[in-house]
Structure 1
Amino acid sequence: MKVLMVIPALGNVYGGTTKIVLELAEAVGKLGISVDIVATNANGLTQLDLPLHQWIIKDYYRVQYFPYLDVLDYKFSLSMSKWLFKNVPNYDIVHTNAIFSYPVLAAHWACQCHKVPYIATPHGMMEPWALAYKAWKKKLYFTFLEKPSLQKANALQMTASTEAMHIKSLGLKNPLVFVPNGIHSADFLSLPNPDIFYQQFPETRNQILIIFLGRIDPKKGLDLLAPAFAKAHKKFPETHLIVAGPDNTGFLPTAENYFTEAGCRNAVTFTGMVTGDIKYAALAAANIYVAPSYSEGFSMSVLEGMAAGLPCVITTGCNFPEAAAAEVASVVDINADDIADALIQLLQDTDEAKKMGDRAREFILENYTWDRVASKMVSLYKDIINGTPIK
């Protein structure tokens, strides 16, 4: 089986979606499936310094990058479009990732032209908040271009079980399949020494650390986290907030101002993007994980926080009702007071917080690993290729 994965961009600044596609490709490739990825070389306000128009060989997949023009954020790439129309027939199935970007649209058209089956994963971009952000542009694009191409997909993948209602409300009647994201269990069997993090950010040492791990972006709810943390910090002055993530849209000054206005900026460390040992050391150093998002597909960082054994406060916008049902996270409404109350509860009852973190770790390692996800995805690919009805 030959699988082509298409994504508008793979820059680290795009956070979870980049990580998801690369780790899914690796996990599927480990099962003996041939996997190629194509993307533009976009990386937020910059570009990736990588070879273009040639395969870069990884252990379990290949990836090829193409130049682009940033036309209203749609990443128009003529060379990538030409490549897709020429090479899509060489694959058994095409798996597109994200919407509202021209490379994905070109991939869908190429599949339709050559009658190659394709599956599309929106990664939460059809959630109400996501559609409302820059709505005028998205409405036109979705109505006249995106929706007609999505309607012809053999299946739409939901990474969160809650996506189905929103997708159906947009008039899409494709088969919907639920395949979540995952983590590599080996990454969480033994976390690095927290001192690796303390040495780089000494102001966090000997503090009770609450960690936010994600892009500095309007949808991530930092405007809610600021007053929520301020309320918790007033009650527990030994707390310190870590905001760890890249700023790919220039939103950082606005985000910092939220905490200044809330009166707690001196108790917040913005680390920028953290990866590798420093990220895992940050998780090892932290006491609580928080995700105050307005909207997510299915957050990789939430999975990582839970796999690290942290008690987590997440909003309903994180689309993880399974965590609430299993009592492995505190899932709250999308408002600052509820986020604050949940943080304070965990800070007050440290024994129960520790038990929640332990349950969370076990829950993720049993149910949300890339090995499980890849096996389910390959079965889905085979069903689509063989024309088996998707249930």
Structure 2
Amino acid sequence: MNIVYYTHLQGNKSAGLTYSIPAQVRAQSRIDNVYWFNCSASELDTWRQVEVFHNKSDVSSCKINDFPKPFNKPDVVVFESFYSPNDCFTARHLRANKIPYIIVPRGALTRGAQAMGKVKKSIANIMLFNNYAKKAAAIHYLTKQEYADSGKKWNENSLIIPNGIEPKRVTKTWTKSNSLRGIFIGRLDIYHKGIDLLIQACKNNFRMMKEKKCTIDIYGPSSSDLDTIENMITQAGLSGIINLKGAVYGEMKEEVLLNSDFFVLTSRFEGHPMGLIEALSYGLPCLVTTGTNMAEEIKVADAGWTSDISVEGISEALKSLLCEKSNLDEKGKNSLELSNKYKWENIAQKTHDEYRVILGS
């Protein structure tokens, strides 16, 4: 197949898409004839290392009919985002030329995401995006839970194919310790990432966390929520238990993950969080909410602790974690095994097969 991947990446080092989309494109290009176009001037050295990468410096118009053959008339175009008016106009051109397209909304259609800026999104949906979604060949969801939380109203055709991960050369080594170190890596967005829920759950387990010498380090780039998070931690009496750190990337990120005992993600909604998949691939057991869209898999694999999206549920999951310190290594092994399900080579083959079915080829 001739596949065009159409993206709007800005090179934000804390965004999972910055890494997952290039990895996806690279893996897919080993099976299909792929052209990746990033509709901005942004680029990273690692993107240029993907041979099929192009951006506005290559095609300033961003128009698909200006792409080189055969990508000016590809078999399918994959939009790796949802709320981009430019994509709607591009999709209109594709429909006029009978070129099918698939949308990967990455959590944007879930009830939780739709609730943020609800009025503005409702108007935008009526004006542009409902039609954009309904006339796609399919909506490509990343997890079963994302599909369930998005509903069937957007498009009758859908497929579910997850993000992927490359196996790590080094994974967690377990040694005896008198303390427990948890870690969160992601955007400092209180509502989206459920940071308020996590702080309250830690407050509810304050005595046990002190007794078990358990801390949670929160890594993320500065945001408009940073001061509020700091105040919430202080007011909850959790200074020294929850520690705000800065952004962390590359080798330093690997180091802090390997030096941690569990990963925590208490999101209200997600697509398929790369940070969580990455933590599993290092062999870290994970404490997650159903909003991460991976709670069921982690529960079945016994790769951590799961909760609904509530303070009470997260409190109970955290309490279970604190009581099961002796099981961390076993759950870590299960995490590593679960991550094998997401090898990019397998994801790419599944994508090829399922796209062909959708396209009827």
Q: Which residue of 1 aligns with 2:355?
A: 381
Structure 1 residues without counterparts, runs of 5 or longer? 42-47, 67-78, 195-204
Query: What is the RMSD of the two structures over their aligned residues, measured on CA atoms?
Result: 2.6
2:142 is aligned, of 156, 159, 167, to 159
Deviations 1:22-60 (A, max 9, x none): 11011112335333232325xxxxxx5779xxxx74244
Quote how far apart the aligned CAs of 1:291 are. 0.6
Aligned to 1:231: 204
Change (3 A) 1:278 1:16: same
- Asked if 1:213 is matched to 2:196, the reply is no
Q: Percent identity at matched positions?
A: 25
Question: Which residue in 2 is equivalent to 1:344?
Answer: 319
1:82 Cα deviation (Å)? 5.1
What is the distance in 2 between the residues matched to 1:80 and 1:224?
45
Residue in structure 2 matched with residue 33 of structure 1 by the alignment:
33
Are the aligned partners of 1:2 and 1:92 in contact in 2 as well (CA < 8 Å)?
yes
Given that 2:172 and 2:282 are in contact with CA atoms closer than 8 Å, whether structure 1 keeps it comes out as: no
Q: CA deviation at 1:349?
A: 1.8
CA distance in structure 1 between the partners assigned to 2:3 and 2:43 by the alignment: 26
Residue type of the alignment partner of 2:22:
L
Change (3 A) 1:49 1:358: closer
Higher mean displacement: 335-344 or 18-27: 335-344
Gaps of 5+ in 2: none
Q: 1:87-166, aligned counterparts within 5 Å?
A: 87=67, 89-166=72-149
Displacement of 1:372: 0.9
Q: Distance in 2 between matches of 1:291 and 1:323?
A: 12
Deviations, residues 88-137 of structure 1 (Å, cap 9, x unaligned): 63433210012112232233223213221111111011111100001111
Structure-2 residue corresponding to 1:76: none
Partner residue, 2:236: 262
Q: How much does 1:16 deviate? A: 1.9
Select the residue among 254, 258, 272 that pairs with 1:280. 254
Partner of 2:164: 182
Report the TM-score when normalising by structure 2: 0.88
Q: 1:354 matched to which residue of 2?
A: 329
Matches within 5 A, 1:13-28: 13=13, 15-28=15-28
3-state DSSP of counterpart to 2:216 = strand
Paired residues, number: 350
In structure 1, the partner of 2:154 is 172
Aligned equivalent of 2:54: 63
Answer yes or no: is the 8 Å Cα contact 1:5–1:94 preserved in 2.
yes
Q: Deviation per CA, 1:148-179, whole angstroms, max 9, x where unpaired?
A: 0111111111101123334334x233311110
- 2:108 is paired with a residue whose SS is coil
Residue 83, structure 1, aligned to residue 59, structure 2? no
TM-score (norm. length: structure 1): 0.81
> Residue 270 of structure 1 aligns to a residue in which SS?
strand
CA shift, 1:310, in A, is 1.6
1:266 alignment partner, SS class: coil
1:328, 1:360 within 8 Å by CA — same for their partners in 2? Answer: yes
In structure 2, what is the Cα distance between the partners aligned to 1:96 and 1:131?
Answer: 19
Determine helix, strand or coil for the equivalent of 1:236. Answer: helix
Tell me which amino acid in the other structure corresponds to 2:63: W
Q: Which residue of 1 aligns with 2:345?
A: 371
